């Protein structure tokens, strides 16, 4: 019999009926003889309701007090699930982050877990009780309530699984696994049986918002087998694994991620002198604008073009910052474009297979899609294209890289 | 400068606007140089909302888990008040019952406070911070969250005042003090400047629901000066004191309480034998029906009439229980009447003044109000009359005992 950590997100516990459904699922696992630790988020909408109350008082609520308040959302759902389990004859006990001793630093609103005291959980598990833990929260050395930041319940689940050396950490969500790409764009997209941690990180950061990135990093670091599955249906979901050596048959490309939330800024005709990139990007970073891709073309006439992308909502702010910078450095022109998107191939198989890039570019060329920017990493190739080509590009690549085929 | 404990109830913190108003009031006291500990209830309606969620899961929610859940209501308001104070430049910090170490027994849903660790509060007060504490909750020896039962925030306030040896415990509510009687019945009712703990207990248990009885007992026991005042207006409220010796001018009667929530049951013609009262009342108590007044008339023909009152909602249940008992003991008849009410004169002055009872009965007789039952204690005389006479009786007595006069 296994020790399983299960984590259910906000939509999975969004109503009392859904909490009853979660109780049914937990009971099935329990009745099979497994030891269970269940991590819950707040009811969907609840955290936003609470933040709304805080913002009504103060546009910048004091961080310690904000954590004191928003941590109550999970405290409600864990109690409700405990009640629902006990009604079904399953012994259960709920704990706040402070009670179960999820010890964090004192960075309110974005605390990091430092240690977990598993004594209390072990005692309950030994007594065949289901342990229910409030996600997203912990306690600092002074006994203050902290939160791990939004979506932090995934991290709680993985951290508990690591501390307890659980056999598996199951993340229940409203999708039934990780797909080769978004099925709304490519109907032939299929669920992956497995994906590596590295691939998952690339997929997640590129917009496949199935799992919190931090929890995936955490799981990879502590070798916690992580499984994403649906809390509304059955099915094995997707197992996220370390790159197993016996995985010879793994396809070159695992999936295609894309992101519409991009805007491109080009500073044209800047003097090609050392330190120019920093003079352009530093003020952007100082304005708290996150930069995604960066491309600098080789110099032609002693000047160069410098291009980078930011989140679409940050474009206007970035333009304002760059207007003065462009003047200072004597750039010829500043061009901003928010009608773009990013499409990325992701796959650990890419490491050992040449030709992925050329096949990608050829596929896009065949569809007359012009590539505006290219950026590569060890297991990813990203291109920026005009936004209107997004669906066409993703579908053409999905077919070209044999992702349409039924699962093996 | 004084150390003041202030407690604000659910309506006083029912919206973020009202919480801002509480912050303004706290700031005024703080700016005058006082040390402040503020106890809050949950936003009005919130505790019922949470209990509703629990009941949707289980008609009898597990008590430990219910406390885990309902304790969140206060956790939200304390954080919001801390934010509102800090926005105004007043240093403040909020604490749950567990954090501030309000130690209770493990009687979930109705825990009793056993000890309070004041170290953390003292440190904050010494640093000129306002301490904000979640009412109604504590922590048991195993670290489980407990609640003190409904209305328990008053008890939290008094207990903190006792532990800190505060100069005064101020209970802010939606009335501006304790009145000689309900102003909705007697427009000339006036606010009492002071009332003794004993009188307050009689007033409260008789239906003047200004303060939780338990908190008044607590305050009396630990000699905590307790003041009831309005959170919506100004004014000194009513101070609840020990019976001061210099209070020579205290009127005989302090107030008139009344209660419509009564029903009368009479078992007629029962054999007047030892143990008969117990044979009638034990099954009623066993059915969890609380008995208020009891009267047994002197025996006439070897039989007697036995009368008692219960809450109106319990009458049918009591009749069902008594039907079989009446048969067993050979009673002649069972009469139930829910068209009655109880009117009580309360006053410590009664102890040393004869004639209160006769004046009361004469006043009622003059209005042709028939008295059905009489019951007395050291500082109280209660009568049961037909419900339709309630207003008339209270008004006539209010005038007869000089309560209409303006405050001295």
Please give the pLDDT value at position A61: 94
Taking the C-alpha atoms of residue A273 and residue A278, their distance in angstroms, rounded to an integer, is 11
Handedness of CA B406, B189, B401, B221 (dihedral sign): negative
Of A70-74, A144-148, A353-357, B218-222, the poorest mean pLDDT is in: A353-357
Tokens of A183: 């099925």
Q: What does the pLDDT average to over A179-186? A: 88
Inter-chain touch A87–B54, beta carbons under 8 Å: no
The answer for residues whose C-beta is within 8 angstroms of residue B112's C-beta and 6 or more apart is B104, B105, B148
Of A158-172, B248-262, B336-350, the poorest mean pLDDT is in: B248-262
Residue B21 sits at the chain A interface (C-beta within 8 Å): no
The two beta strands, B145-147 and B113-116, are unpaired
Taking the C-alpha atoms of residue A369 and residue A392, their distance in angstroms, rounded to an integer, is 9
The fraction of chain A above a pLDDT of 70, given in percent, is 95
Which carries the bigger pLDDT value, residue B362 or residue B247? B362
Mutate to test the interface with B, among A83, A106, A124 (most CBs of B within 10 A): A83
Mutate to test the interface with A, among B68, B91, B137 (most CBs of A within 10 A): B68
Q: Is the pLDDT of residue A306 over 90?
A: no
Q: What does the pLDDT average to over A283-293? A: 89
Inter-chain touch B54–A20, beta carbons under 8 Å: no
Residue A98 sits at the chain B interface (C-beta within 8 Å): yes
The two beta strands, A168-173 and A130-134, are unpaired
Q: Is the pLDDT of residue A304 over 80?
A: yes
pLDDT tens-place string over residues B236-250: 899 988 765 555 556
The answer for residues whose C-beta is within 8 angstroms of residue B196's C-beta and 6 or more apart is B240, B241, B242, B243, B254, B348
Provide the pLDDT confidence category of residue B352 given band limits of 50, 70 and 90: confident
Q: Is the pLDDT of residue A371 over 80?
A: yes
Which carries the bigger pLDDT value, residue B145 or residue B325? B145
Q: What does the pLDDT average to over A77-88? A: 98
Instruction: Write phi, then psi, for B317 (nearest 5 degrees).
Output: -65, -40
Q: Is the pLDDT of residue B185 over 70?
A: yes
Residue B303 bridge partners (DSSP): B271
Mutate to test the interface with A, among B43, B59, B62, B98 (most CBs of A within 10 A): B62
Q: Is the pLDDT of residue A407 over 80?
A: no
Q: Which of A62, A69, A80 sits opposite B75 (nearest CB)?
A: A69
Q: Is the pLDDT of residue B205 over 80?
A: no
Please give the pLDDT value at position B158: 94
Residues 139-178 of A with CB under 8 A from B: 143-145
Comparing alpha-carbon positions, the chain A residue that sits nearest to B82 is A65
Please give the pLDDT value at position A242: 77
Of A260-269, A313-322, B19-28, B200-209, the poorest mean pLDDT is in: B200-209
pLDDT tens-place string over residues B153-183: 999 999 999 999 999 999 998 888 888 998 8
Tokens 């020579």 appear where?
Answer: B248
Give how far B11 is from chain A: nearest CA, Å.
Answer: 16
The answer for residues whose C-beta is within 8 angstroms of residue B371's C-beta and 6 or more apart is B361, B364, B383, B384, B385
Cα distances (angstroms) measured from residue B52 to each of A320, B69, B193: 51, 11, 40
Residue B51 sits at the chain A interface (C-beta within 8 Å): no
Inter-chain touch B53–A62, beta carbons under 8 Å: no
Inter-chain touch B93–A64, beta carbons under 8 Å: yes
Taking the C-alpha atoms of residue B266 and residue B256, their distance in angstroms, rounded to an integer, is 26
pLDDT tens-place string over residues B281-321: 888 988 889 888 888 877 667 888 889 999 999 999 999 99
Taking the C-alpha atoms of residue A19 and residue B62, their distance in angstroms, rounded to an integer, is 16
Judging contacts by C-beta atoms under 8 Å, the chain B residues touching residue A58 are 83-84, 86-87
The two beta strands, B333-337 and B303-310, are unpaired
Best CA proximity match to A45, nearest among A5, A18, A22, A81: A18
Residue A333 bridge partners (DSSP): A268
pLDDT tens-place string over residues A194-236: 998 888 888 876 555 677 777 888 888 888 999 999 888 888 8
Please give the pLDDT value at position B208: 58
Provide the pLDDT confidence category of residue A161 given band limits of 50, 70 and 90: very high
Please give the pLDDT value at position B331: 86
CATH label, A263-337, candidates 3.30.2130.10, 3.40.640.10, 3.50.50.60, 3.40.50.10470: 3.30.2130.10
Residues 202-221 of A with CB under 8 A from B: none
Of A77-86, A339-348, B121-130, the poorest mean pLDDT is in: A339-348
Are the C-beta atoms of residues A190 and A407 closer than 8 Å to each other?
A: yes
Residue A21 sits at the chain B interface (C-beta within 8 Å): no
ipTM of the complex as predicted: 0.78
Which carries the bigger pLDDT value, residue A220 or residue B352? A220
CATH code assigned to A3-174: 3.40.1160.10
Handedness of CA A175, A176, A181, A182 (dihedral sign): negative
Residue A57 sits at the chain B interface (C-beta within 8 Å): yes
Provide the pLDDT confidence category of residue A376 given band limits of 50, 70 and 90: confident
Judging contacts by C-beta atoms under 8 Å, the chain B residues touching residue A82 are 62, 65, 68
The fraction of chain B above a pLDDT of 90, given in percent, is 61
pLDDT tens-place string over residues B63-95: 999 999 999 999 999 999 999 999 999 999 999
Residue A97 sits at the chain B interface (C-beta within 8 Å): no
Give how far A50 is from chain B: nearest CA, Å.
Answer: 8
Instruction: Write down the mean pLDDT value for chain B.
Output: 90
Please give the pLDDT value at position B214: 79
Cα distances (angstroms) measured from residue B30 to each of A155, B6, B35, B125, B334: 41, 12, 7, 11, 62
Cα distances (angstroms) measured from residue A124 to each of A23, A119, A159, B165: 18, 9, 18, 41
Instruction: Write down the mean pLDDT value for chain A.
Output: 90
Comparing alpha-carbon positions, the chain B residue that sits nearest to A61 is B83
A3-174 shares its CATH topology with A263-337: no
The two beta strands, B263-271 and B340-346, are unpaired
Give the SS3 label for residue B292: strand
The fraction of chain A above a pLDDT of 90, given in percent, is 61
Q: What does the pLDDT average to over B274-278? A: 82
Mutate to test the interface with B, among A24, A69, A71 (most CBs of B within 10 A): A69
Give how far A80 is from chain B: nearest CA, Å.
Answer: 6
Domain ranges of chain A: 3-174, 263-337
Best CA proximity match to B96, nearest among A44, A285, A67: A67
Q: Is the pLDDT of residue B251 over 80?
A: no
Inter-chain touch A72–B68, beta carbons under 8 Å: no
Q: Which of A66, A79, A99 sits opposite B69 (nearest CB)?
A: A79
């Amino acid at each position: 019999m296994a020790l399983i950590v299960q984590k259910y997100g906000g939509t999975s516990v969004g109503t009392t009926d859904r909490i009853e459904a979660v109780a049914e699922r937990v009971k099935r696992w329990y009745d099979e003889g497994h030891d269970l630790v269940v991590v819950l988020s707040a009811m969907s909408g609840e955290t936003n309701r609470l933040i709304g109350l805080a913002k009504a008082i103060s546009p910048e609520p004091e961080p310690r007090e904000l954590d004191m308040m928003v941590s109550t959302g999970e405290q409600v759902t864990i109690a409700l699930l405990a009640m629902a389990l006990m009604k079904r004859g399953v012994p259960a006990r709920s704990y706040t982050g402070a009670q179960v001793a999820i010890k964090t630093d004192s960075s309110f609103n974005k605390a990091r877990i430092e240690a977990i005291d598993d004594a209390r959980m072990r005692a309950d598990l030994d007594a065949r009780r289901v342990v229910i833990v409030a996600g997203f929260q912990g306690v600092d050395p002074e006994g203050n309530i902290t939160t791990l930041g939004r979506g932090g319940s995934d991290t709680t689940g993985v951290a508990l699984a690591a501390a307890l050396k659980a056999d598996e950490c199951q993340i229940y969500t409203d999708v039934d696994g990780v797909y080769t790409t978004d099925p709304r764009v490519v109907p032939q997209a299929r669920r992956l049986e497995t994906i590596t941690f590295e691939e998952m990180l690339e997929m997640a950061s590129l917009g496949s918002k199935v799992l919190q990135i931090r929890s995936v990093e955490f799981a990879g670091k502590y070798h916690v087998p992580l499984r994403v599955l649906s809390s509304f249906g059955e099915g094995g979901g997707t197992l996220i694994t370390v790159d197993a050596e016996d995985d010879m048959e793994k396809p070159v490309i695992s999936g295609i991620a894309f992101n519409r939330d991009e805007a491109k800024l080009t500073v044209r005709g800047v003097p090609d002198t050392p330190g120019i990139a920093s003079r352009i990007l530093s003020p952007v970073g100082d304005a708290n604008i996150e930069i995604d891709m960066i491309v600098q073309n080789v110099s032609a006439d002693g000047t160069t073009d410098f291009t980078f992308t930011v989140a679409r909502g940050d474009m206007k702010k970035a333009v304002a910052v760059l207007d003065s910078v462009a003047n200072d450095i004597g750039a010829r022109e500043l061009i901003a474009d928010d009608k773009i998107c990013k499409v990325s191939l992701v796959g650990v198989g890419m490491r050992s297979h040449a030709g992925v890039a050329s096949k990608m570019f050829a596929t896009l060329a065949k569809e007359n899609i012009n590539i505006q920017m290219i950026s590569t990493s060890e297991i990813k190739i990203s291109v920026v294209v005009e936004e209107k080509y997004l669906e066409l590009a993703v579908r053409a690549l999905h077919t070209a890289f044999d992702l349409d085929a039924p699962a093996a």
